[in-house]
Amino acid sequence: MAPSSDERYEPPESFVEQANVSDPGIYDEFEENWPDCWERTADLLDWDEQYDQVLDESDAPFYEWFPGGRLNASYNCIDRHIEAGQKSHAALKWEGKRRETRTYTYQDLYGEVNELAAALRDLGVEEDDVVTIYLPMIPELPIAMLACARIGAPHSVVFAGFSADALATRMKSADSEYLVTCDGYYRRGNAFNQKSKADNALMGLDRQVTTVVVDRLGRDLDHSLDDDQYDYEELLLTHAGTTVSPVARDAEDMLFLMYTSGTTGQPKGVIHSTGGYLAYAAWTSRAVLDLKPEDTYWCSADIGWITGHSYTVYGPLALGTTTLLYEGTPDYPDRSRLWEIVERNAVDVFYTAPTAIRAFMKWGQEYPADYDLSSLRLLGTVGEPINPRAWKWYYKHIGGEDCPIVDTWWQTETGGMMVSTLPGIGTMKPGSAGPPLPGIGARVVSEDGAPIDPGERGYLVADRPWPGMFRTLYGNDGRYREEYWEPFSEGDDWVYFSGDGATIDYEGYITVLGRVDDVINVSGHRLGTMEIESAIVGVPGVAEAAVVGGQHETNGTAIYAYVSTDHSRDPDETLRERIVESVEDAIGPFARPEAVVFTPELPKTRSGKIMRRLLENIANREPLGDTSTLRNPEVVGEIEAAGRDD
C-alpha cells in the first residue's frame, strides 16, 4: 500500500463551528485526568446504579471498567430517548434490496424490541444465555440484538454470508442454544435460501436449538418450520403490546460475543462488556463521527461485523440518532444506488470502507455527480488502509471538498475507534489515520517494545487500557493473554498488541500498513490463513496448501492459494473447483480465493517451514530476494510460471 502523501487538508470552518468536539485542549485534558477522563464517556449513558470506580486494574490484563455500575443497553438505545420526548423521531431507516423502505421511530423500535424480548423469554432464554443471530441487513437484525440486550442475553451475530459449517462452529463454541435467522434474502434480485444453511448447521450440532425465523421473502420462498422453530411475526403477534422491563446488567457483564479470525484455525469469540463498550461506542460516535440526534447517519458496513455493531447499532442509537440500514450491494440494480439513497434520505454522515471507495472510483465520477450530495457533512473510512488517491477521490467526488474525512483505525477487539483525527480539530493527511484519540495509548514500537523513529516500520500497540476494549476471548483467558498481551508486555506494564504493522511521523500521525500475522484482510473482512488452508487440505487429492494475501486493485488484498497435490491426483479444473467450493462451504463465498495455483511442492526452509513471505512476493510479482535458505529453490520458478498461466 502506498505510504501517506505529504499533502495536508484542514477541516472547513463551517464544520468546525458546529462540531461536537472542537477544542484541541481535549487531548491534554484526557492526559491530565487519566483514567478519570473516561467518566465523560460514561456520562453519555444513563446508569441504574452509579459505578464505584472508573478503572480496576488489580487483575490486569483483565481490566474492569466502571465496576459496580449497572445499566441496560437497550434502555440506553431506546427508552431514554422516548422519555426525553423523542418517540416520533426516526431511529432506523431501512432501504431494502427491492427498493422497499421502512422507517422505525423510537416508539416503533421500542414496541418491536419489547415484543421480541418477551417472546425470547417465553421460549426459555434466560439472562446470560447466548443467542446467535444469523440475519442479513434487515431491521429485525438490530431489533433482535436490542431484544437480547434488554433481557441480558448476550448476542452472537454471525455474518449472514458465513457458511453452515462456520455457523455451527460458532454456535458450538459459544454453547448457544438459541438462533434467530430468516427464510432467505435476495441476492442480486434472486431469492437465496438462508434457512437451509441454518438447518444444515443445526444438523451438525449435538444439542437442541430453539430457532426464530423471520419471513423476509414471503411467497418467494416457501419454508417449513420444525417443532422447535418459530415464526417471528407470529411470536410478535402473540406478544403484541407486551413490555419487558430492561434488566439492569453489571457494567462488566457481557453485552455480546463476536467471532473473528485469528492466526489459528479456530475463530476467536471476542467478548464485549455492557458498560465500557457502550460508553466507548457512544463517545467515539460523538467525538469522531460528530453524530447529533437530528442527523441521518449511514454506515455501509454489514452489522455482521464489528463496525456495524458499534457504528450502525449501538453508538448511533445510544446518541438518539437516525441510523440507516441498507440491505443491498452498491452496484445493484445500478451503480448509482448509494448516491440515490444519500440524496433521498439527506444523509449527513457517511462511513464506509476503502474497498468500496476504490470500486466507486473505478466506476467513475459520473455516478455520484448525478445526485445532490450536499447534505453530507462528514465522511469516514474503516477496515483497511486507504491509499491517498482513493482518499482524495472520496474527498472531492463524494464530499465536494467540503467534508472532513476521518480514517479510523480500530479492530473487533478494540470495540471502537482508536486512531483517527478528530474532524473538528485535526489536520488530515491522506493515507495516514492520524494520532491516537484522546486518552488512547496507541504507539508504534520496535520488536523489543521501544518507540521507533519516525518513518521506520514498527508494530502498533496500545500501552494503556480503554473502556471499549474486549474483556477476554470466550472460554479462553489463556489465548487472550498470550496473543494480545504477552508479546509486548514487561512485568506489570501491560501492552496490547494489535497484530498490525505501522509507521509514525514527526507529528505523531500513524499510518497503518496492515497485518503482520497470518490474518488476511479482504475487502475489510478478516480471514485467517489457517482457516482457509484447512478447508483446502480437506479436499481429497490435496497434499499441502499455503494461502497468502496479494494486492488487489479494488479489494485491497485478495487470497492466493498455492496447492500441491498427492500422488493420487493430477491438478485440473475439477480439483480447482472443488477447492474453491470447499472454502465456500467452510467459511463463505466472501473467502473465495482469487487464484488457486498448483505447484509440485511448496517452497520450504531447511527446517520444513513453508516460506509464506516468498509466496506473498510471488503473488504480488515482487522481487524475491534471497531464496538460498530454501530446501527446494527450484520450485520458485515453477510457481511463478504456474501463477502467470493462471
Report the nearest approach of ligand 6R9 to the CB of residue 632 (Å). 32
What is the three-state SS of 95-164? ECCCCCEEEEEHHHHHHHHHHHHHHHHHCCCCCCCCEEECCCCCCHHHHHHHHHHHCCCCEEECCCCCCH
- Contact code string over 417-456 relative to ligand 6R9, x by CB under 6 A: ----------------x-----------------------
Distance CA(293)–CA(80), nearest Å, equals 13
Element (H, E) at 201: helix 195-203
Report the nearest approach of ligand 6R9 to the CB of residue 498 (Å). 6
- Which of 256, 350, 410, 560 binds ligand 6R9 (CB under 6 A)? It is 410
CB atoms < 10 A from the CB of 241, how many?
8
- Which of 142, 430, 499, 571 binds ligand 6R9 (CB under 6 A)? It is 499
- Which of 170, 358, 515, 552 binds ligand 6R9 (CB under 6 A)? It is 515
- Contact code string over 29-58 relative to ligand 6R9, x by CB under 6 A: ------------------------------
- Contact code string over 212-251 relative to ligand 6R9, x by CB under 6 A: ----------------------------------------
Distance CA(493)–CA(443), nearest Å, equals 14
- Which of 3, 68, 441, 514 binds ligand 6R9 (CB under 6 A)? It is 514
DSSP per position, 434-464 = BSBPTT--EEEE-TTSPBPPTTS-EEEEESS
Number of residues forming the site for ligand 6R9 (CB under 6 A): 24
125 versus 157: smaller Cβ distance to ligand 6R9: 157
Query: Across-strand partners of 548?
Result: 560
155 versus 195: smaller Cβ distance to ligand 6R9: 155
Q: Strand pairing of 378-382 and 405-408?
A: parallel
- 3-state DSSP helix/strand/coil % of the chain, to nearest 5: 30, 25, 45
Distance CA(195)–CA(185), nearest Å, equals 10
Q: Is 498 in the site for ligand 6R9 (CB under 6 A)?
A: yes
* Binding segment (CB under 6 A) for ligand 6R9, from list 2-10, 241-249, 496-504, 624-632: 496-504
Q: Is 409 in the site for ligand 6R9 (CB under 6 A)?
A: yes
Distance CA(344)–CA(338), nearest Å, equals 10
- Which of 74, 76, 156, 307 binds ligand 6R9 (CB under 6 A)? It is 307
Residue in this structure with the C-alpha cell 479462553, named with its chain if needed: 476
* Binding segment (CB under 6 A) for ligand 6R9, from list 378-386, 483-491, 551-559, 591-599: 378-386
- Which of 305, 314, 339, 562 binds ligand 6R9 (CB under 6 A)? It is 305
Q: Is 176 in the site for ligand 6R9 (CB under 6 A)?
A: no
- Which of 140, 302, 407, 533 binds ligand 6R9 (CB under 6 A)? It is 407
Distance CA(293)–CA(612), nearest Å, equals 49
524 versus 603: smaller Cβ distance to ligand 6R9: 524
The grid cell for 629 is 535458505
Report the nearest approach of ligand 6R9 to the CB of residue 111 (Å). 32
Report the nearest approach of ligand 6R9 to the CB of residue 13 (Å). 26
Q: Is 260 in the site for ligand 6R9 (CB under 6 A)?
A: yes
Report the nearest approach of ligand 6R9 to the CB of residue 526 (Å). 4
Distance CA(398)–CA(321), nearest Å, equals 22
Report the nearest approach of ligand 6R9 to the CB of residue 337 (Å). 23
Radius of gyration of the chain (CA): 24
The grid cell for 477 is 483467558
Query: Across-strand partners of 563?
Result: 545, 598
176 versus 307: smaller Cβ distance to ligand 6R9: 307
- Which of 500, 518, 531, 584 binds ligand 6R9 (CB under 6 A)? It is 500
Q: At a CB cut-off of 8 Å and minimum separation 6, what does 467 contact?
A: 38, 41, 42, 65, 66, 275, 276, 277, 279, 280, 283
Q: What is the binding site for ligand 6R9 (CB under 6 A)?
A: 260, 305-307, 382-385, 407-412, 433, 498-500, 512, 514-515, 521, 524, 526
